[in-house]
Chain A
C-alpha cells in the first residue's frame, strides 16, 4: 500500500539522515584532523590542511610502536581464535552427538556459567595466573582466553549440529571411516556456517578485548592494539601531539572497518541471535 509523500515524511527522513551523520561525523572528523599539522589543528579545527599529512600515519606507527602491537595482536588473536574455535567445534560435536557417561553433568556445569557473577572472578583469576607465572605474557593471555567453555557458542553450534541428519554419520561409519574422519570430513563441512559465525564473533571479542590485556600485560613490548592506544592516549598529557594520536586511533580502527565490510551480513545476523534468545 503506497502512501503519499508529505512534508512530514521529509522530517522523518531528516531524522534518519541526522542519525547517520551522528554516527559517521566523529570518525570522519578524526580522519580529517589526522591529516593536518598540529599547528593547523590548533589554529582552526575546520580549516583545510595546506598539505595532506599522510606522514602523520608513519609517525604514529613509529611513535606508538604500532608495528609490535600489531604483531602481538596477530599472535594473540590468531592463536586464541584457532584454539578456541577448534575446541568449541569438537566440544559441540562431543556434547550433542556422542553419547557417553557424564555428558549431561558436563553440559549442566557449563550452563552454570550463565548464572555466575563473573566480575568478581577477575581477582582470583589474577591470583591464579600469577601463581602459574602467566602474567605479563601474551601466551598466558592466550591460554586464559582459549581454554574454556562458552555456553552461548556451544548452544549455537550444538543446535546447528543437532539439526544435521544422523544418517550422514552412520553411512560414514558403515564405510569404515573412523570417528575422526567422520568429524573432519562430514560434520565440520556441514557445520561450517555455524563455525564461521562463532569465529567471526570470537575475532571481534579478541580484537576488541581491552580488560584482559589491560590487567595482564605490563610491558609496552607486549601490548595489543587496543591497550596500546589506551596507554598512548594517557601519555598524551605530556606532549600536545594531537594529530599523531588521531592517526594512531585511525590505525587501531582500520582493522575493525575492514573486518566489518567483509563480514557485515554475518555480523548483523549473528548479533541479533544473542538478544532474541535472551
Chain B
C-alpha cells in the first residue's frame, strides 16, 4: 500500500518535472519562433503603415522640423493636375493591360489544353519564363527593343520594308505611354496561361464531347463552356491585374521614370519620386497621395467585384 502511494508520488513529481520542463521548453521555443519575426513585423510593417496616416497630415521634406497642416495635403492633391494626369495614365494601363493579358492567356491556355499538340509542356514552361525575371531586366530588355536607332522593333520594321527613321518609342510623348503596355503583357501572360490551363484541365471532357456532337466549333466551345466554367478564376485574375496596373510603377520607373515630359507618370511613381526622387522631397504630400491611392484601390476592388459579379456556372 505504502509502496503504491510512493510510486504514485514519485510518478507525480516526475510528471510535474516533465510538465515543467516541457512548459519551459515551450516558452523558449515560442520566444525564438515568434518574437524576432513578429517584432520585426510590428516595427517594419505595421508601425510604418499606421504612422503614414499621421505623415499625410504633415508638411515635411524629411529633414527639417515637420509642420502639422491637417488636411491641407489632401485638399492640394485634389487640385494637383499632376495627380489627375498620373491617374489618367493609370486608367489607360488598367484598361489595356488586364484586357490584353486575359485575352492572350485565355486563347493560349485553351489551345494548350484542348488541342492535343505536341510539346505543350515545353511551351508552358517557355511562356511562364518572364515571370521569374526581375522588373529591371524586363524593362531593360524593352528599352533595347524600343531604341530608335538600334532597337529591335525598328530593325524588324526596316527588315520588312517599313522605314520610320530613328523613331524613339519611349522618347516620344505620343507613344511612350502605349509602349509601357507590351512589356507588362509580355511579362504577365505566362502566369495566367498556367493558371487558366490548370483550371481548364479540370473541366470534364464529356462536356466538350457532347458539344462537338451537336456541332459546336472551337469558338462556341470556348465561349459557351470553357469561359463560363472558369469565370471565378478569371474574375480573380482581372482583379489582380487591375490592382497591379493601379499601384505598380517599378517597370515605369526603370523604363522611362515618368518621362518624356511626364507622359508616362503613374500615381505610384509620382508618389515615389516625391519621397525618394532626385528633386525636392515632400514626405507629407507623398504620404497623402499614397493614402489617396489606397482609397482608390479599395474602390477599384469593389467596382471590379461588381462588374464581374459572381456568376459562376457549375456542371
Contact = CB atoms under 8 A, between A and B. Distances in A.
Interface of A: 1-3, 9, 12-13, 15-16, 19-20, 22-27, 29-30, 41-42, 45-46, 87-88, 90-91, 93-95, 98, 100, 106, 109-110, 112-113, 116-128, 143-144, 146-149, 173, 178-180, 183, 204, 207-211, 215, 226-227, 229-230, 233, 242, 246, 249, 252-253, 256, 259-260, 264, 267-268, 271-272, 275-276, 278
A20 B123 CA distance: 7
Given A117-B290, A122-B275, A256 B137 contact: yes
Interface string B263-296: 0000010011001100000010011001101100
- The B interface is mostly helix, strand or loop, or mixed, namely helix
A119 B271 contact: yes
Contacts of B135: 208, 210
Given A1-B205, A268-B128, 18 more contacts: A12-B115, A15-B107, A26-B141, A45-B155, A90-B32, A90-B34, A116-B45, A117-B290, A121-B48, A123-B283, A124-B287, A147-B40, A149-B45, A227-B136, A246-B144, A252-B134, A256-B133, A272-B195
Interface of B: 22, 25-26, 29-30, 32-34, 36-49, 51-52, 55-56, 62, 104, 107-108, 111-112, 115-117, 123-137, 140-145, 150, 152, 155, 159, 186, 189-192, 194-195, 198, 205, 208-209, 212, 233, 236-237, 239-240, 247, 250, 254, 268, 271-272, 275-276, 283, 286-287, 290-291, 293-294, 297
Contact of A264 (B34, B38, B125, B290): B125
22 contacts: A1-B209, A16-B112, A22-B186, A46-B159, A110-B41, A117-B290, A120-B290, A120-B293, A122-B275, A124-B48, A126-B276, A147-B44, A211-B250, A226-B136, A229-B137, A249-B137, A249-B144, A256-B132, A260-B129, A272-B191, A275-B195, A275-B236
A68 B131 CA distance: 26
Nearest to B51: A124
Nearest to B104: A19
Contacts of B254: 210, 230
Nearest to B144: A30
A246 B144 CA distance: 9
A120 B291 contact: yes
A272 B247 CA distance: 21
B132 A119 contact: no
A249 B141 contact: yes
Contacts of A180: 25, 29
Contacts of B52: 117, 120-121, 123-124
A122 B190 CA distance: 29
